[in-house]
Amino acid sequence: MKSLIACVIILFGVSQIYGLDPVQQLPEVNGDKFFYFGFGSNMLAKRIHIQNPTAEIIGPALLEDYRVDFSLVSEFWKGAVATIVPSPGSKTWGTLWVIDLTNLADLDNQERVHLGWYKPVSVQVKLQNNVTEIPARLYVITNEPKGNVHDLPPSEVPEDRQPSKTYLQVLVKGAIDSGLPEEYVTWLKGFKHNNQTVQHLEELLELQSVAL
C-alpha cells in the first residue's frame, strides 16, 4: 500500500502533456488512469466494481469544505441517494480510487451524467495522514438540496431526503472497509433512513450484518 501511495503522489505531480484530447487535460487524469473520490455507495469495493472493474483502492481521503447530504429519490435504491454540497469548514471522508480511463464513461453513466442528474467536477483531496493534495474526480448533484438534512430532527426529515436502509448500509460498510475514521462512520449512521430494503442488493453486497 505504501508503494502504491508513493506512486500516486509521483503520478499526479507529473505535468500534463499538451495537445491531447480534453479528457487528458483533466487534473485528475494521469496517462491512462484517473483518480476518483467516492463518498457514497462507491466507497464499497463490491459496489464500484460492478461497473468499474479496474478500480483499485488507494485509501481513505479527506475533502474539505464539502458535506454529505441526501437528495434525488432512486427507484434502484428505494430512497434518496447521496450528494455532496459545498459547506465551508465541513469535512467529508471518502475512498480514493485509481481507475482506468476505459471505465470513465461507465462511471459517468452510473452517475447518470447523461440524464443531468449529476455532474463531474475536479477537487483536491488529501490522503489520511498526508498533507499532499491529489486532484480527483467527484460527482455532485445538479439540483443542490436546500438546508442540511443532518441538522433536522428525525421526525422532520422529508421522505424524499431519506436514504433506504440498504443504501445507508452500503455507505457504512464502504466506510468501514475503506478504513475511514470511526467517528465519521458513526456520523454516517446518524442519518435517518426510510427502513426500505433492496433484497437482491443486500445479498449481492453482503449487507446483512451491517448494523446502523
Residues with a catalytic annotation lie at 111
Nearest-angstrom CA–CA distance, 54 and 83: 23
Phi, psi of 121 (to 5 degrees): -135, 160
Do 44 and 205 meet the contact criterion of CB atoms below 8 Å apart? yes
The secondary element (H helix, E strand) that includes residue 107 is helix 104-110
| Backbone φ/ψ region at 178: left (φ over 0), alpha (ψ -120 to 50), beta | alpha
Cα dihedral: 99, 77, 74, 135 (round 10):
-20
Q: Provide the phi-psi class of 5: left if phi over 0, else alpha when psi is between -120 and 50, else beta.
A: alpha
